[in-house]
């Protein structure tokens, strides 16, 4: 193997699928928090939790109470939150967690909201967007659901999102990823405080076969996994023969993914997009809509989710390949943030996820038709075009958008 080939392989690692897993689909906070809180209350050895948001609401308080109770039982509890997404944790949750003996680490603390938003420093834009949990080294959770009540900041009690509960051999790479981040954060604290910190104890892993599913962990970071999630999508889209369904909160794909989708449409693949209908972040919302005309011209069907916020990051391809995780197809997830997706090669799981997305499309979404979109006032077209140009201009200033 040539040096160039080895370098390409290092920068574009292939996914390592493991068989023998049980992977259960969890829809919205109702499913997810019932399962997560149940696991936290039954934990006997260790709890590892990573989240981007940690809200000061009913769910946040329930999770904090469960973590504190576990720590009082002698469970080794370690929590990692993002310093921007969970900057509110200092007010309520952190004192209670640390008093109970929970070990808490904050990824890149950021207390100045507007300074962060206006900053063009690459290091300050890098956030920890993963949502992972591992209980007793036996049961893992992964997906797009933060520690936040579905109704918080949402006009509807339903914030459409997905997560998975995992048992089996895939536990091992999930545990190693969690422990690697924990060790890295402790090294940062050691450098800054010059205090000795005990090394992280490796998670006790139980990786016996628990089912029949083949699944892989896809990470994104700024070291060895810069393009892993993007490459996983590209391979699946390029191999698609029948159908592609994407449910995305924020959809501003890279040029590679956009071209792959358009190529798939040209060869007759049915492509359906379920996207955000309510405005949460205006710049991303209108920049995403700037793509609609091009997508519709290729017979790609677009639906907008209406009742509440769409927070899903999921895909099903040919009802045989699917993914659920924290990564959107947008510049933040594909270029900047630390992300974690679970990729599943199983017809039964894929059909179940497809069914849940189809339910949301049929009951709670509005189709954007080419004729209706063409009839939009010119002012909206200008707004969408301006938003897209501004977004990519900001990306280029940071240096992230050069190859997007």
Catalytic residue (one of 129, 214, 225, 364): 129
The domain limits of the chain are 19-193, 217-398
pLDDT band at 347 (very low <50, low <70, confident <90, very high): very high
Catalytic residue (one of 31, 263, 318, 358): 318
For residue 318, indicate whether it is catalytic. yes
Catalytic residue (one of 93, 131, 214, 225): 131
pLDDT of residue 133: 98
Q: Which of 125-139, 146-160, 172-186, 337-351 has the lowest mean pLDDT?
A: 146-160
Domain range 19-193, CATH class:
alpha beta
For residue 195, indicate whether it is catalytic. no
Q: Do 19-193 and 217-398 show the same overall fold? A: yes
Average pLDDT of the segment spanning 101-115: 81
Cβ-Cβ contacts under 8 Å for 73 (sequence gap 6 or more): 43, 44
For residue 149, indicate whether it is catalytic. no
Catalytic residue (one of 82, 311, 330, 364): 311
For residue 313, indicate whether it is catalytic. yes
For residue 136, indicate whether it is catalytic. yes
pLDDT of residue 189: 56
Catalytic residue (one of 93, 214, 313, 364): 313
Catalytic residue (one of 76, 82, 93, 136): 136
pLDDT of residue 6: 47
Residue 98 has pLDDT above 50, yes or no: yes
Residue 218 has pLDDT above 50, yes or no: yes
For residue 131, indicate whether it is catalytic. yes
pLDDT band at 194 (very low <50, low <70, confident <90, very high): very low
Return the CATH superfamily for domain 217-398.
Answer: Endonuclease Chain A (3.30.870.10)
pLDDT of residue 398: 67
pTM, 2 dp: 0.91
Angle between helices 378-398 and 282-289 (to 10 degrees): 110
Residue 75 has pLDDT above 60, yes or no: yes
């Amino acid at each position: 193997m040539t040096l160039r080939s080895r370098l390409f392989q290092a920068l574009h690692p292939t996914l390592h699928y493991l068989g023998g897993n049980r992977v259960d689909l969890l829809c919205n906070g109702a499913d997810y928090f019932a399962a997560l809180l149940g696991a936290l209350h039954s934990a006997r050895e260790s709890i590892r939790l990573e989240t981007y948001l940690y809200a000061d609401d009913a769910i946040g308080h329930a999770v904090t109470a469960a973590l504190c109770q576990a720590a009082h039982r002698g469970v080794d509890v370690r929590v990692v939150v993002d310093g921007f997404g969970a900057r509110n944790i200092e007010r309520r949750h952190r004192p209670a967690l640390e008093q109970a003996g929970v070990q808490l680490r904050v990824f890149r603390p950021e207390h100045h909201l507007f300074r962060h938003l206006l900053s063009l420093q690459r290091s300050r834009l890098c956030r920890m967007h993963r949502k992972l949990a591992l209980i007793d080294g036996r049961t893992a959770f992964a997906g797009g659901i933060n520690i936040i009540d579905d109704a918080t900041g949402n006009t509807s009690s339903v914030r459409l999102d997905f997560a998975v509960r995992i048992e089996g051999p895939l536990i091992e790479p999930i545990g190693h990823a969690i422990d690697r981040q924990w060790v890295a954060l402790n090294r940062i604290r050691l450098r800054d405080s010059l205090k000795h910190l005990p090394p992280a104890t490796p998670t006790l892993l139980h990786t016996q076969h628990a089912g029949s599913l083949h699944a892989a962990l896809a990470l994104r970071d700024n070291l060895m996994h810069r393009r892993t999630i993007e490459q996983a999508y590209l391979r699946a889209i390029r191999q698609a023969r029948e159908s592609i369904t994407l449910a995305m909160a924020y959809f501003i794909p890279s040029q590679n993914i956009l071209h792959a989708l358009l190529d798939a449409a040209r060869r007759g693949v049915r492509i359906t997009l379920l996207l955000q209908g309510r405005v949460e972040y205006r710049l991303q919302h209108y920049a995403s809509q700037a793509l609609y005309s091009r997508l519709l011209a290729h017979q790609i069907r677009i639906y907008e989710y209406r009742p509440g916020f769409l927070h899903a990051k999921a895909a099903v391809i040919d009802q045989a390949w699917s993914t659920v995780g924290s990564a959107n197809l947008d510049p933040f997830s594909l270029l900047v943030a630390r992300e974690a997706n679970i990729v599943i090669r199983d017809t039964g799981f894929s059909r179940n996820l497809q069914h849940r997305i189809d339910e949301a499309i049929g009951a709670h979404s509005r189709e954007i038709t080419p004729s209706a979109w063409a009839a939009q006032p010119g002012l909206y077209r200008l707004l969408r075009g301006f938003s897209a140009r501004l977004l990519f201009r900001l990306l280029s200033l940071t240096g992230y958008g050069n190859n997007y």
